[in-house]
Amino acid sequence: MQRRYRTIPDLKVHESAHALAFEDPALAGKLTAMGLLPGTLIEMVRTAPFGSAYYIKADGVRLALREEEASSILIDV
């Protein structure tokens, strides 16, 4: 069966999707405390100038995430 989710790096600039779940439990603790929860609408704003990091908006809050952090957040299709 094909997986029915993507991760944040799959988003194109200005594209949005809802967060579904977190793969890294330690990071999940940090992100949920910062207000990024399962169900939060996430918008890709841009990638970092030297790559490997993302600038996203989660329900109006601006966050910077590393590549591996962003790819541990599952989002809907």
Partner 1 sequence: MSEARDKLLNIALVGNPNCGKSTIFNQLTGLRQKTGNFPGITVEIKEGRMQFPSGRQAILTDLPGTYSLYPTSSDEKIVASVLTNPKDAHYPNVVIYVADATHLEKHLLLLTQLLDLDIPVMMALNMSDTAEEIGIKVNAGVLADRLGIPVVAISGRTGANIQKLIAEIEKLSDSTAFSEKHFYPLQEVEKQVAEAVCLNFSLTNAYQALLLAHHYEWLPFLSEQNQETLRAIVQDKGLASLRFQVDETLDRYDRFTPIVQEAVQRPPQFPSTPTDQIDAVVTHRWWGPLLFFFVMLLVFQAIYDWSTVPMDWIEQFFAQLNVWLTDILPVHWSTDLITDGILAGLSGILVFIPQIAILFFLITVLEEIGYMARVVFIFDKTMRRFGMNGRSVVSLISGGACAVPAIMSSRTIGNWKERLITTMVTPFISCSARLPVYAVLIGLAVPDKRVFWIFSWQSLTFGSMYALGVVAAFASGYLMKKVLHTRESSYLAIELPVYRIPHWRNLWLTVWEKVGAFVIGAGKIILVISMVLWALARFGPGDAMAQAATKARQEAQKQQLNQTEAADLLAAYQLEASYAGYLGKVIEPAIRPLGYDWKIGIALIASFAAREVFVGTMSTIYSIGSSEDAFILREKMKKARFEDSGTPVYTLATALSLLVFYALAMQCMSTMAVVKRETGSWKWPLLQFSYMSLMAYLLAWVVYNVFA
Q: Which of 9, 20, 27, 71 binds partner 1 (CB under 8 A)?
A: 27
Nearest distance in Å: CB 2, partner 1: 27
- Which residue, 2 or 49, has its beta carbon nearer to partner 1? 49
| Integer Cα distance of 8 and 56 in angstroms | 9
- What is the contact mask toward partner 1 in residues 3 to 22, using x (rule: CB under 8 A)? -------------------x
Nearest distance in Å: CB 49, partner 1: 5
Reduce the secondary structure of the chain to three states and give it as a string: CCCCCEEHHHCCCCCEEEEEEECCHHHHHHHHHHCCCCCCEEEEEEECCCCCEEEEEECCEEEEEEHHHHCCEEECC
Q: Which residues bind partner 1 (CB under 8 A)?
A: 22, 24-35, 37-38, 45-46, 48-53, 55, 59-66, 69
